[in-house]
Structure 1
Amino acid sequence: MTIIFPFDISAVTHDAALSFWERAMAFADTMMRPWNAYQIAIALGVFAAAWVAGRIIGPRMQDWMRSREGWPKWRMRIFVVLHRRLGLILFVGMIWALVWIMRMTTWPSRSYLLAVIAQLAFAYLVIAVLTRLISNKLLRSAVRYVGWVWVTLSILGLSDQAQAILDSASVHLGEMRLSLWILLQAGVILGALFALARFISVNSATRVRRNDDISPSMQVLVIKFMQVLLYGAAVFIGLRTIGVDLTGLAVLSGAIGVGLGFGLQKVVSNLVSGIIILLDKSIKPGDVISLGETFGWINALGARYVSVVTRDGKEYLIPNEDLITGQVVNWSHSDDFVRLDIFFGTAYEDDPHLVRTIAIEAAQSVDRVLKTKPSVCHVVGFGDSSVDYILRFWIRDPTGGLTNIRGNVYLALWDAFKEHGISIPFPQREVRMLGEAAACGDGALPGDAGKGASTSGKAALD
């Protein structure tokens, strides 16, 4: 590996740096001429006028934007960006109008510096607006400042010399050559392509989610596939644009893939399981599922896990593999109807026919219990203390909770039984205390009566 730094005494670097310095000094020398000073003063005056106009127009534009309530979000964001750059927009418009007027009325040399300032201002405006598409603040700032510097050098005619200096600092990795200029190109191109891919992905995802003809699981699959395709294309096009040979990376990527296959078996398994879940539509966002002790509804389907939100506000991130290999209860897979069972018992003195009628009426009186699917009540056995029943009823909103609806039905049964005089029995125990006479009659010694009574009483209590 050979590393060449820009401070090496080489003819290319020396000539590029010298040419860059000479061009910069020549430009600085032109700035010292009297008429150029006048142009700078004129530019400052135009900037002050644009600032004052922005302070006047800005509040009126903001009020007008607030009155546009029915506008799409993307259109409102564009106007927000334009509002924030209103002063620069006015400055660009004013100074270009001034340059056009001066070129029509006087010599071109008297508007040369104003034209340079107008070009710089317009370039800054375009870069500031376009970089708003980049969501990452650090990447957005880096692309913005690098773009401003490079545009400034290009407009001033110093780009070739700066490119030669950056290209002279290089590293050779076999047949591949990397320089600061290539890395700078890669950063700018990849940043722009990623921003474009994200913009297309977000807008396309919004359109897919609004399409009611596509099921929720297929929506997630289409969005994930589109994101992988767009970002993969951005990386491929970006590397090819800057001249990186991707054929050499094929063998390396294959070796890395084999190593990662052994080390990331669980991750790969979860990724494949996520694709299977999306394809077979076994679960989808909004479904209510039970997995072990976890009961909740699916909030989102990820590439590695499924987000399940429970009634108490906890969010469980369940790996996709567990949903494929484990037993999952999907309460709303084919439809939203859910049947619930509760058990109760009444005394033997109560009429079972009347109890069943009252229980069904009590269940139907609860709000969430469906009236279209009638509740049923059956006798399931004769217990030690009660006649045992099962009450079955239907609901259609399992996301509203199951424990609370069972509790409401139990309360309705309590009120109905109390109103009709039906009793709910509870186990009764009879405790017998054995006295001295009983203990002596059984052949025990008189002195052992108290001990025997105590022991029998304890046994009876147990």
Structure 2
Amino acid sequence: MEALQWVRGELLVPATLAQIGVIAAAWALARFLAPKLQRYLEGWLGKFRYSRISDAVIRAVAPLSLPLIWLLLQWFSVFAAQRAGWPNHLIESVVSLLTAWVVIRLISNTVRDPGWAKTLAIVAWGIAALNLLGLLGPTIAVLDNMGLTLGEIRITLLGAIKAAIVLAVLLWLAGLVSHLADTQLAGVRSLSPSARVLLGKTFRIVMMAIAVVVALDSIGIDLTALAVFSGAVGLGIGFGLQKVVSNLISGLILLMDKSVKPGDVIAIGDSFGWINSLRARYVSVITRDGTEHLIPNEELISQRVENWSYSNTLIRLKLPIGISYDSDPKLAMELAVEAAMSEDRVRKEPPPVARFMNFGNDALELELRIWIADPQDGVANVRSNILLKIWESYRANSIEFPFGQRDLHIRSSVPIPVRLDEDGEVGT
């Protein structure tokens, strides 16, 4: 009975029925316009300059055509009702729910991390619930009163939340802008790969720094107060972050002097491979067996590095060969050169040559010298192919590979006494 009275007194009144009619009319109009808007948005796919970003935005927004149009119409309804002095609490509730719905759908379409998506969805629904219950204003007031004072600066919980939101949004925007800048720099052929990486990283650091400064300024922190912490930061860098800072500075030096760049074939220590990428703290080197080594930038500055493609990719390989003393060395050298010439990766200019190097203890020592221009494709495979062809050619032409020989000379003999036992056994 009380519920029926409440329905008659609260719902079945002209003001509430009028708001329900406005909501229903807005939904019907949004339902009619949504397919047209969705087709219009999807028609712009791939037509913008930065299609990778624009297409992602269109794919996230196009499925929300219905709630977006409905929300827009409801906002106009709220403004019109407020100007006319009509009741609009029911329409405002619908606006709050639609806003939460749109935000959550956008988050689920754009945020890939499930944890962050769930957290942001909970926050959106929480704000909508507080607004529906009329508790959003008091909650904001309570958060604004909770804080602490540091000197002349007062930091409230509300301000910290706002700063966190501003920082997250600005860092996302900074990453997006940095990605666009990297894309533009990648197309500038007049810049070297090292210069493109250096400019891209510098721009990213500047954008991140601006995001942090703006976030701190949004909560009223005087940036000059940060100078107080400079001494402590310098002390921390001097002791705890020495290696980190050294690698960062070494990375900048590598980018500026262009001693190494992505694609170079280098050998440092026991690692041999091509540089995959230059990072702020390390260099990624991938070996021929697919292992990726993360070498600190400091090692490339302080240690001896062999860069096989620094000025050019042309390198010479030396293949030692030993033949027996009974074989013809001239024929052996000719056959070795012919085997090298038959290999596709061996350069014809400068041509491969064979040299008689030494009279060895067990063999006549020859050396085949070849040039290749693609060390990034491997060195051991070229050696293997040529040595196999040399072995086949020598075998067909009766050129022998000697085995190691050792002669044992007895300088003096020692007489060994021999006696015969009574049982007929021989002993010494």
Q: Same fold (TM over 0.5)?
A: yes
Distance 1:95 1:383, change over 3 A: same
1:133, 1:199 within 8 Å by CA — same for their partners in 2? Answer: no
Q: Please, what TM-score do these two structures have when normalized by structure 1? A: 0.74
Match of 2:191 among 211, 214, 232: 214
Distance 1:374 1:248, change over 3 A: same
Post-superposition offset of 1:117: 3.6
Distance 1:197 1:330, change over 3 A: same
Q: What SS does structure 2 have at the residue aligned with 1:85?
A: helix
Whole-angstrom distance in 2 between the partners of 1:275 and 1:344: 45
Q: Does 1:385 align with 2:362?
A: yes
Q: What SS does structure 2 have at the residue aligned with 1:373?
A: coil
Post-superposition offset of 1:296: 1.2
* Structure 2 partner of 1:321: 298
Unaligned regions of 5+ residues in structure 1, if any?
1-28, 449-462
Whole-angstrom distance in 2 between the partners of 1:132 and 1:204: 24
Q: How does 1:200-349 map to 2 (within 5 A)?
A: 200-349=177-326
Q: How does 1:346-385 map to 2 (within 5 A)?
A: 346-385=323-362
Whole-angstrom distance in 2 between the partners of 1:41 and 1:190: 42
Q: Does 1:189 align with 2:138?
A: no
Match of 1:80 among 38, 59, 80: 59
Distance 1:60 1:365, change over 3 A: farther
Query: For this pair of structures, how many residues does the alignment match?
Result: 409
* Structure 2 partner of 1:445: 417
| AA partner of residue 59 (structure 2) | V
Whole-angstrom distance in 2 between the partners of 1:278 and 1:86: 47
Q: What SS does structure 2 have at the residue aligned with 1:187?
A: helix
Whole-angstrom distance in 1 between the partners of 2:36 and 2:287: 51
Deviations 1:77-134 (A, max 9, x none): 122212443442353467679x59x979xx8838785477458646864786589777
Which structure features the higher share of helix residues?
1
Q: Please, what TM-score do these two structures have when normalized by structure 2? A: 0.80
Deviations 1:41-97 (A, max 9, x none): 66368658867997x8899899979999x9832232122212443442353467679
Whole-angstrom distance in 2 between the partners of 1:294 and 1:354: 38
Unaligned regions of 5+ residues in structure 2, if any?
1-8, 421-428
* Range with greater deviation from structure 2 (155-164 or 239-248): 155-164
Deviations 1:272-310 (A, max 9, x none): 111111111111111111111111111121211111111
- Which structure ranks higher in relative contact order (CA pairs < 8 Å, sequence separation ≥ 6)? 1
Deviations 1:388-413 (A, max 9, x none): 11111111221222111111111111
| AA partner of residue 331 (structure 2) | L
Distance 1:139 1:176, change over 3 A: farther
Deviations 1:213-258 (A, max 9, x none): 2111111111111111111111111211221122222112322321
| AA partner of residue 218 (structure 1) | A
Whole-angstrom distance in 1 between the partners of 2:200 and 2:10: 56
Distance 1:443 1:120, change over 3 A: closer
2:283, 2:295 within 8 Å by CA — same for their partners in 1? Answer: yes
Post-superposition offset of 1:379: 0.5
Match of 1:43 among 1, 8, 23: 23
Q: CA RMSD in A?
A: 4.2
Q: What SS does structure 2 have at the residue aligned with 1:252?
A: helix
Distance 1:137 1:275, change over 3 A: farther
Equivalent pairs: percent with the same residue? Answer: 36
Distance 1:444 1:79, change over 3 A: same
